[in-house]
Amino acid sequence: MEATTKWGAWWDHLATKRTFDDTDTASTEANIVKKYLRPKWGDIALRDITYKAAKHWVQEGDLKVRPGMSPGYVHRIFSIFNVTIKEALDQEVLTASPLAGVKLPKRHKKPKPYLSTKSNAAMSAHLREDYRDALAFGLETGVRPGELCGLHSDRIDLDRGWMLVAETFVKRRGIIRPYPKDGDVRWVPLTDLACEIAARRLGARDESKGCGFVHSDGLPCSGVLTFMTVRGRIMHPDTMGYHMRNAAEDAKVPRRSPYSIRRGWATRAAEGGLDAFQIAEILGHATLDQAQEYVQQTPAARMKLVAALSKYPQLTVIEGGLGQTSDTQAGSGAKSGAKVDSQTLAQDRGRVRRSAG
Ligand SMILES: [Zn+2]
């Protein structure tokens, strides 16, 4: 390939090698290329892509932050464009990146909306039992919508109270993938409520029938889908979202997406005192970054800090305190006004106070 290759042709060349193990990522990327990258850069030769044009595109052009174009989405689009330029550098088609130094809009790190137990309780009254159970189960386990919809009965161990999160429903392709987003299956503990819901959803169904969906690894299915609609159809994340929106409107609580259920679980877990490691493990995150966001600013985090700061308080002896009255046993060796070690003071807490500092 030459530097005179048009970006569109360069993309087509790269796209054949970009595989994502049949996740939704591939189609998201294809959409972005179709909508934003090809119309803008498709007919331009790689060597004619300039810093100035890229900068203008981001700051004034189609990627300008406005309603419908969030900073996060600008980053997403730009990152795909950047990948193609990096490839051109790696393959020595270009010698310098025209994108180096292009400033992207700042992403505001505001907490992402989550489904609170309070909102869920209000929405429950307006949800059909199948969706009510699905939401409650999500708030107990933190699974992704695709994991919830693809949960196979043979992965649930109600006796031990654990489930293996493996099969995932890939909504855009309508198939079952045998592993979650990041590739690793994981064990998730089930609360009593989660067990109760799973048992109710499975009822007396014949679990040897198989789920009826194609498994992308081609292996036969050995279980049924735990969550189905009352009409016996697969619970689809989009339909779940639709019912959640309606219920939120009826209950007059903020609208929430199916993904917000997972964040609701993480928020609950963090507020209950689970640490970032445990949260990341149950959510199936490879890194701690996201889990840490949940742990920050919780009452549990505050209490931990308060406890840490008061662990070695500066102590002072107060009037009438230990060692100052004649009837106190002299063995402690503490004299009036003397510093007293913290262990001695701990025995007589009521008469000691922390200094104001
Ligand atoms: Zn299956």
Segment 268-277, tens digit of pLDDT: 999 888 989 9
Which structural domain, as residue segments, surrounds residue 196? 117-301
Distance 235 CA to ligand 1 centre (A): 13
Domain boundary among 301, 327, 344: 301
Rounded to an integer, the average pLDDT of 44-68 is: 93
Does 16 share its domain with 80?
A: yes
Ligand 1 center to 211 CA (angstroms): 4
| Residue 108: inside a domain | no
Q: 23 alpha carbon to ligand 1 midpoint, in Å?
A: 17
Percent of the chain at pLDDT above 70? 86
In the predicted model, what is the mean pLDDT of residues 163-183? Answer: 91
> Can you give the pLDDT at residue 23?
66
Distance 153 CA to ligand 1 centre (A): 9
Tell me the CA–centroid distance for residue 221 and ligand 1, in Å: 4
Report the mean per-residue pLDDT for the chain.
Answer: 86
Who contacts 288 (Cβ-Cβ below 8 Å, separation ≥6)? 276, 277, 280
Res 104: pLDDT = 93
282 and 335 share one domain: no
In a domain? residue 109 = no
Q: Quick one: what percent of the chain has pLDDT higher than 90?
A: 61
Q: Is residue 308 part of a domain?
A: no
Q: How far is the CA of 233 from the centre of ligand 1 (A)?
A: 13
- 337: pLDDT confidence band, cut at 50, 70 and 90? very low
Residue 278 lies in a domain: yes
* Band of pLDDT at residue 316, cut at 50, 70 and 90: low
CB neighbour burial string for 132-146, b if at least 16 within 10 angstroms, e if fewer = bbbbbbbbbbbbbbb
Report the pLDDT averaged over residues 127-133. Answer: 96
Report yes or no on 173 lying in a domain. yes
Q: Is residue 99 part of a domain?
A: no
Q: Tell me: do 139 and 255 sit in the same domain.
A: yes
- Tens of pLDDT along 345-356? 444 444 444 444
Same domain for 332 and 244: no
Same domain (yes/no): 49, 188: no
Quick one: CA dihedral 190, 195, 201, 202, positive or negative?
A: positive
Number of structural domains the chain divides into: 3
Do 341 and 291 fall into the same domain? no
Q: Give the Cα separation of 277 and 274 in Å (integer).
A: 8
Protein residues placing their CB within 5 Å of the ion ligand 1: 176, 211, 221
